[in-house]
Chain A
């Protein structure tokens, strides 16, 4: 049934978001069959819908792990125990090791990750996640607490940074501390620069990449390919305020950070290290963050690396759903975590009446406009720019890992195999650290990506 072409065109996932093609009213047998299909696809690697973009490789969708955000820290210290049996690697590891400490700061978490690179493999030696929990506004304290919430978050971030460094036993002036510029005000774009000597690229970067931000914009670039005068570069522009706020925070906490990367690039590096894609493949990573989300198209060949910011974020989606269903934030989180994303976004439109459909329209519209349409636009743009190449596989990461059956939902709507990005499986090291990384994968992934920076 999954391979039946006549069914493929009626794929619920695709039809429900397709323009003027919503088949809301179906008989029960069809609904059942669709439910069965969706259930099967939970465990089956095969896609139900027709893959309009590329061949469907086998994709295993691991069940999303419910992450307990409110849970207090579990301190995982570095151990000397090595779970790997690769002796040759161990020998080389003893001869040459490089340790990287990564710090990822968000409004919701401060995450510290430490990796060691022995020249062949990475070991995850330390991971700490400290949630930032600003006091909830209640009727009692709404008039009493006059403190700016932003200031409260900042204070908690400073405390959390101090804690992670103390717990990790890492000096704040360690030469290899990496942190990142986060958010939408950081643009990454691949460019082709002609007739320019390498030493002049930096000088001419502001004229090559017009910054949409203020005059204090910061520019950086990586040389991808060069023949002397013509270069393929990956340019990055950051808003001055974003840059200086991170720097200010580091100064406040006394962290002598010498490397400031970009969160998106950390995710790209994490993908490359985790998946190790074969040459010539193009993949897509959908990163759903609390406040920032991105679609990243990552080639492993000569194609362009393309990153697009989208408005579909976990927080906004949660608020929209909460408002629509008129439930508490905790209930909304539980719903996102436990209920089938596909089910509560899509099935409602199939099972409910027109009145209910109208009632649920805002959520549907939000997902459709800010996620699916953006995804479609991104693929179309990328195909135009890169000889009709589109991603052959989609990986999801970030808070999307906490959305039950989100990968399945994407798979249904794009006909491209989709799975969770494994952020801990490729590491060697203590299983307790790796288990903790797996548990905190929805918040720790950027820090882990930042720590994949062997020097």
Chain B
């Protein structure tokens, strides 16, 4: 049986082309499927993130409650811990107070004395100013307001808590070597006092 086929090459080429097309189609389908799968997974993952967020919120609340409970009940059972905590909180407050003062002070003013209590603070300043007395008073009031504002921002004091306990002695004679003394006092607000929180 003699069997010629003049279309064998064309058939072969067609077959190859079809195979190639099928391969490309398969590749495209695989890629598309993978992409769809990935998108689906991402969507599901997104859904699970929301769920986790709720859980996380609940967990945070739980943790906060536990911390509160720990601090209020168990943590301060040990006296040493309490002392350390108090001193740390105190140190923090003093440094905050100083930073509030220092940010408002200029080169003509220095702190002369600093009395510090858990509830009360008294700071004595000495100013060596060549201004006239009225200008000096204005500057001191402005200084006090600045410090107060700063402290309010820091949460150390409340409005009108910082007071000028003692103003400069305006009866003194003005000269180049005169020092003017004034005192600011502050009663720490109860709610900002960490120390009070630590007290049983």
User: Which A residues fall within an 8 A CB radius of B?
Assistant: 181, 218, 220, 222, 234, 236, 238, 243, 257-262, 265, 268-269, 272, 305, 452-454
Contacts and interface: CB of A to CB of B under 8 A. Distances in A.
Interface residues of B, number: 9
B1 A220 contact: no
B4 A265 contact: yes
B5 A261 contact: yes
Interface of B: 1-8, 11
Contacts of A234: 2
A452 B4 CA distance: 12
A301 to B, nearest CB: 15
A268 B1 CA distance: 8
A297 to B, nearest CB: 14
B79 to A, nearest CB: 97
A49 B45 CA distance: 100
B96 to A, nearest CB: 91
Contact of B6 (A238, A268, A269, A454): A238
A-B pairs with the 8 shortest C-beta distances?
A260-B6, A260-B7, A265-B2, A261-B4, A259-B5, A220-B4, A220-B6, A262-B4
A259 B4 CA distance: 8
A220 B5 contact: yes
B5 A260 contact: yes
B1 A218 contact: no
A453 B3 contact: yes
Contacts of B2: 222, 234, 265, 268-269, 305
Contacts of B7: 257-260
Contacts of B11: 258
B1 A452 contact: yes
Contacts of B3: 222, 261, 265, 269, 453
A187 B126 CA distance: 126
A454 B3 CA distance: 10
A220 B12 CA distance: 14
Nearest to A181: B6
Nearest to A268: B2
14 contacts: A181-B6, A218-B6, A220-B6, A222-B3, A236-B6, A257-B7, A258-B11, A260-B5, A260-B6, A262-B4, A268-B2, A272-B1, A452-B1, A453-B3
B69 to A, nearest CB: 82
Residue of A238, A261, A268, A272 most packed against chain B (CB within 10 A): A261
Contacts of A452: 1
Nearest to A452: B1
Contacts of B1: 269, 272, 452-454
A243 B6 contact: yes
B128 to A, nearest CB: 109
Contacts of A218: 6
A453 B2 CA distance: 9
Nearest to B7: A260
A181 B4 CA distance: 10
B102 to A, nearest CB: 94
Residue of A234, A236, A258 most packed against chain B (CB within 10 A): A258
Contacts of A243: 6
A389 B2 CA distance: 22
Nearest to B8: A220
Nearest to A262: B4
Contacts of A258: 5, 7, 11
A248 to B, nearest CB: 13
Contacts of A257: 7
Nearest to A179: B7
B133 to A, nearest CB: 115
Residue of B1, B3, B4, B11 most packed against chain A (CB within 10 A): B4
A255 to B, nearest CB: 12
A254 B6 CA distance: 18
Contacts of A236: 4, 6
A234 B1 CA distance: 12
Nearest to B14: A258
B12 to A, nearest CB: 11
Nearest to B1: A269
A326 B29 CA distance: 75
B11 to A, nearest CB: 6
A24 B6 CA distance: 51
Contacts of B5: 220, 258-261
Contacts of B4: 220, 222, 236, 260-262, 265
A184 to B, nearest CB: 16
Contacts of A220: 4-6, 8
